[in-house]
């Protein structure tokens, strides 16, 4: 019989940062649809509550907090563990910001703010979640990389530096933890449909044409394209995949 890819995550406990809106919302819903119980974290209560309602309180909980604060990270881990009476087995480091500015106008504090969220906080949360995964010899940690991890993009120098660092984190942690059952991977989204992206492209027709002409599939992706990719990487179907960055970008990163 031909093997069927199920991608089922029954029994898994997932923590998704930045889980109230955009990609984080889609990731949380995709994980829940695949059978996982999901704890979402973010700074604003209203969108978090909407995701909990969409998934169901029996399968989703939310905690309001800032990933850059140690006490809030501890609260996120505790909320997932205590609500579902099991340790976290999937961590998705999705929280982030992107500030567009010419490099000469990027002050030290602004550069560090972007790095703090994407890199420092994501590493700290991964480090704090990992002990229970390593003890149980099973777990999956996901980072969100970007096309900017591979391409030079003007006016997002801090974001680009952060996303390059995320690739390094992915590979370094995979090299250290995979032998003990904890796989570490990343997804690199391309242009994905969202109100923010649509607004940016619709206000600049030339840029929109350039984006589509450089994307072999000729369109933007949908948020659940990222969610499904993450479900795959967390599942047993990806059990021999670690330290990798999966582009989900309609071919935009292949170069042509």
Do the domain assignments include residue 3?
A: no
Which has the closest alpha carbon to 55: 100, 25, 21? 25
Q: What is the CATH number of the domain that holds 112?
A: 3.40.50.720
Q: What is the mean pLDDT of residues 221-237?
A: 97
- Per the model's pLDDT, the better-predicted residue between 58 and 2 turns out to be 58
Is there a domain that residue 69 lies in?
A: yes
For residue 224 the two structure tokens come to 């659940």
- 157-177 helix and 122-136 helix, angle to the nearest 10 degrees: 20
The answer to whether residue 131 scores a pLDDT higher than 50 is yes
Domain contains 209: no
DSSP, res 14: E
For residue 25, pLDDT beyond 70: yes
Q: Which of 84, 143, 159, 232 is catalytic?
A: 159
Length of the chain: 256
The angle that helices 22-33 and 223-234 make with each other, rounded to 10 degrees, is 50
Question: Looking at the predicted structure, is the pLDDT value of residue 193 above 70?
Answer: yes
Does residue 6 form part of some domain? no
The total of structural domains in the chain comes to 1
List the 139-144 sheet strands across, edge first.
60-64, 37-42, 13-17, 90-93, 139-144, 182-189, 245-248
Expressed as residue numbers, the domain containing 171 is 13-192+223-245
Q: Where does the pLDDT of residue 2 fall: very low under 50, low under 70, confident under 90, or very high at 90 and above?
A: very low
Judge whether 237 lies within some domain: yes
pTM given for the model:
0.94
Catalytic residue check, 159: yes
Strands annotated E in the chain: 13-17, 37-42, 60-64, 90-93, 139-144, 182-189, 245-248
Residue 68 within a domain: yes
Whether residue 136 is contained in a domain is answered as: yes
* C-alpha triplet 9, 13, 17: angle, nearest 5°: 110
Q: Return the percent helix, strand and coil in the chain, to nearest 5.
A: 50, 15, 35
pLDDT of res. 7:
63
Q: Is residue 7 part of a domain?
A: no
């Amino acid at each position: 019989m031909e093997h069927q890819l199920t991608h089922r995550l029954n029994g898994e406990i997932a923590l998704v940062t930045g889980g109230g809106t955009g990609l984080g919302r889609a990731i949380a819903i995709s994980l829940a649809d695949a059978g996982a119980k999901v704890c979402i974290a973010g700074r604003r209560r209203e969108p978090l509550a909407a995701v909990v309602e969409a998934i169901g309180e029996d399968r989703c909980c939310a905690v309001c907090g800032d990933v850059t604060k140690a006490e809030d990270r501890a609260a996120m881990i505790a909320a997932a563990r205590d609500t579902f009476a099991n340790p976290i087995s999937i961590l998705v480091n999705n929280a982030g910001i992107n500030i567009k500015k010419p490099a000469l106008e990027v002050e030290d504090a602004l550069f560090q703010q972007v790095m703090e969220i994407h890199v420092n906080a994501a590493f700290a949360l991964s480090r704090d979640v990992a002990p229970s995964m390593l003890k149980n010899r099973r777990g999956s940690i996901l980072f969100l990389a970007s096309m900017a991890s591979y391409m030079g993009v003007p006016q997002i120098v801090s974001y680009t530096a952060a996303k390059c660092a995320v690739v390094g984190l992915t590979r370094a942690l995979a090299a250290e933890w995979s032998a003990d059952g904890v796989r570490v991977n990343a997804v690199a989204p391309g242009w994905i449909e969202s109100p923010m992206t649509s607004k940016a492209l619709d206000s600049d027709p030339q840029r929109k044409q350039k984006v589509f002409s450089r994307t072999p599939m000729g369109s933007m992706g949908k948020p659940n394209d990222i969610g499904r990719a993450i479900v795959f990487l967390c599942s047993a179907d990806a059990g021999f995949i670690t330290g990798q960055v999966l582009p989900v970008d309609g071919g935009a990163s292949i170069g042509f």
